[in-house]
Amino acid sequence: MNQVNQVNQVNQVNQVNQVNQSSPYKSAYRSEIDGLRAFAVLSVVAFHAFPSWIKGGFVGVDVFFVISGFLITSHIFENLDKGQFSFVDFFGRRVRRIFPALIVVMTCSLTFGWFILLADEFTQLGKHVASSAAFVSNFIFASEVGYFDTSSELKPMLHLWSLAVEEQFYIFWPLLLWVTWKLKQNLLLICLVAMVASFFVNLLLVDRFPTEIFFLPFGRFWELLVGSVLAWVMLYKASNISTTSSRSKSKNIILTYVLGTPNKSGITTFVGIFVLLSSIIFINKNDPFPSYIAIFPVLGAVLVIIGGSFSSFAKLVLSNRLAVWFGLISYPLYLWHWPILSYLHIIEDGTPHINKRILAILLSISLAWVTYQFIEKPIRFGGSKKSFRTIVLAIAVFLIGLIGLAISYSDFKDSNGVDDVYLRKGLEHRIGASSRWYEGVDSWLFLGNSYDNTVTKLKLASPPGIKEIATLKDTFYNLASVGETTNTKIALLVGPNKSSIYAEMLPSEIYVSPTRYVDFFLNDLSDIDNLTIYNPTTQFLKLKEFEGLLYYRTDTHWNDKGAFIALSNLLSTLGYEGPKVEFSSVLTVGGDLIGISKLNNFPLKDDDTWLASIEHTYELRRAEETNVAIFESFGKQEVVFNSNPIIDKKVWVVGDSFTEALKPYLDATFREVSYLGHWQKGLDNLSIDLEDASEKPDLVLVVRVERSF
């Protein structure tokens, strides 16, 4: 019986090799998978370098996920069948595959960052290197997205989120398969259950938690698991078909055609490539993702793997020397390209010229080849001392992680100020010790250029694009149009930048343009019916002389008095009456800019904080939305009911952190206020939500800080 089993196992492996659907570890090499890797990495690189041209290139990551799931699971299945699976061997292979190039790129990024980055930029890089070395960077990046997040181009390690997802998969998946195999349970069933569960988590939560589902493993594992299911089919079902009777084949005619018979016409491969090309053309970053849309690049990758390399078409497109070469260097190319583009963006203080981006890509390709040829291959395929190499690599990544962690907790203001860094032109946009903040006169702190290019917009270094303005106008036009049909007023309240109101407190190096960046948007929105726009800038400039300070000195926001004046004028414009409020000056506390700058001993002045006393009696009842996210820059999503409102109306509010100071006045004014969340995640679909709501609000209020336009 054992001999029969051994023969069956040998036959099975031979049959798998015959259809060229095997693991890369012990079985035949598959050149078309390297071609598929080439497509994936070049799509991602093109998207990062030319995002307006290759709008859906980011789906290359999803293709990588399918490939990884397929190859890794094929390896596990084969070795489980042979009784040769070893966790030590499995993770040793992963270390020798992943760590060499990763160590080089992280070390170079830290070294270059020491000379290029300002203090807090360098500490942030240290945090990202530490989390990347621990393969948890996807959780870090998911938590950073929000109000105080710097733009993605300023994060040289951002692309390592996908590597973290893969490594998290490699930790849990082999263990689950091994336990299933030991218990003699159905391997295909466990693959399908895990895949479907992850896919539905993705669909269920992508609208409410788009950032988290994009970065975190729970909504991404299904893509790797599609590859796992494919591995089971290719290793077992395809080989069974080749030895079944005609009658059995007739029952599996579709599977027989697709898997068991070499597709010499190349139809499967052609359709797969067509789906992949369509994905990078028609999918864009504004689509909810992964959601159901990710099915398309995943399906394309599956079809290419199924198609194999038998057809002349597959050989021509995927197995040619150039495609295979790019496939072989795809991993180091993925690692190198983003830090180079990111640092170029930092040095240029904006999007680099196209010629420089092309040179950056050529440099990335060159470094990828050098890394593959002289670092990755010798370490990965060296014949002896595998255990020693594995231990050394693991220790090296651990030490780099420790260095990154130490950097993240250190203060580099004395070594990485504006006078200490190299190659940084235009640092007049970055006064002080950092790009995230700068100090004005008379103990005022301001938000730096890293946040929405605040200083660049203040100077009007370049006006907004026509398409950008048109996109926002379409959003508000749709919302206002639906509002007209539901008898709902739509209002936009702008929270002026502190630098727009207190320009006299800015450093002399910063020149303020008389034409404001936000006005390009507001002027275009002004002709939309049923949209009331209130921008309190002009009113604030008049009132600040005799009303006292309307903004905090050490915070980015308006204070309680500034928020009240803005809302009162908006309500008056809408024909509503707001609450009456008395203000008294109280002791100040350090604002958010103290935390950003780490100036813990910064002198505070007690002239910017007001205690508001609302002259109205009422009781509030709050109903929190427990099944939705809490936005750091917005607060809780909740519904507030007022027992004795000034205005008997229902209001929806979407906004940002400038909403927080408005809440006491909104709660006191209206019968019911629904705080729906941050406008970044809710504004685009707000017209649909309004149309579908069973109980329509009387007013929809959108609150946006000026720099967000």
Tens-digit pLDDT profile for residues 116-129: 988 878 988 999 99
For 533, the 3-state DSSP assignment is strand
For the cut 80, the answer to whether the pLDDT of residue 636 exceeds it is no
The residue that leads in pLDDT, 413 or 402, is: 402
For the cut 60, the answer to whether the pLDDT of residue 430 exceeds it is no
According to the model, what pLDDT value does residue 434 have? 54
Distance from C-alpha of 213 to C-alpha of 215, rounded to nearest angstrom: 6
CA distances to 393, 410, 448, 591 from 601, rounded to whole Å, are 42, 17, 20, 12
The residue that leads in pLDDT, 258 or 141, is: 141
Distance from C-alpha of 239 to C-alpha of 230, rounded to nearest angstrom: 13
According to the model, what pLDDT value does residue 240 have? 44
The residue that leads in pLDDT, 488 or 683, is: 488
Distance from C-alpha of 134 to C-alpha of 521, rounded to nearest angstrom: 43
Res. 73 pLDDT band, cuts 50 70 90: very high
pLDDT (average), residues 99-111 = 97
Torsion angles phi and psi, residue 634, rounded to 5: -135, -35
Q: What angle do CA 341, 346, 347 make, to 5 degrees?
A: 95
DSSP class of residue 630 equals: P
Dihedral sign (CA 586, 587, 591, 593): positive
For the cut 50, the answer to whether the pLDDT of residue 11 exceeds it is no
Count the neighbouring beta carbons within 10 Å of the beta carbon of residue 95.
20
Distance from C-alpha of 265 to C-alpha of 243, rounded to nearest angstrom: 23
Distance from C-alpha of 407 to C-alpha of 111, rounded to nearest angstrom: 12
Least confident piece of the model among 3-7, 292-296, 300-304, 551-555? 3-7
According to the model, what pLDDT value does residue 6 have? 41
Average pLDDT, the chain: 86
Q: Which amino acid is at 259?
A: L
According to the model, what pLDDT value does residue 625 have? 61
Residue reference for tokens 């263990």: 175
Distance from C-alpha of 472 to C-alpha of 683, rounded to nearest angstrom: 10
Distance from C-alpha of 195 to C-alpha of 689, rounded to nearest angstrom: 30
Res. 10 pLDDT band, cuts 50 70 90: very low
According to the model, what pLDDT value does residue 599 have? 83
pLDDT (average), residues 226-233 = 94
Res. 7 pLDDT band, cuts 50 70 90: very low
Enter the tokens of residue 670. Answer: 């209206």
- Chain center to CA of 365: 24
For the cut 60, the answer to whether the pLDDT of residue 245 exceeds it is no
For the cut 90, the answer to whether the pLDDT of residue 27 exceeds it is no
Least confident piece of the model among 102-106, 254-258, 281-285, 689-693? 254-258
Residue reference for tokens 């067509």: 274
What stretch of H or E contains 534? strand 531-534
Distance from C-alpha of 373 to C-alpha of 226, rounded to nearest angstrom: 31
Give the domain ranges of the chain: 2-408, 446-708
Enter the tokens of residue 279. Answer: 């994905």
Is the full-model pTM beyond 0.85? no
For the cut 50, the answer to whether the pLDDT of residue 241 exceeds it is no
Percent of the chain beyond pLDDT 70?
87
pLDDT (average), residues 301-329 = 91
Q: Which residues of 160-197 are buried (b: 16+ CB within 10 A; e: fewer)?
A: bbbbbbbbbbbeebbeebbebbeeeeebeebbeebbee
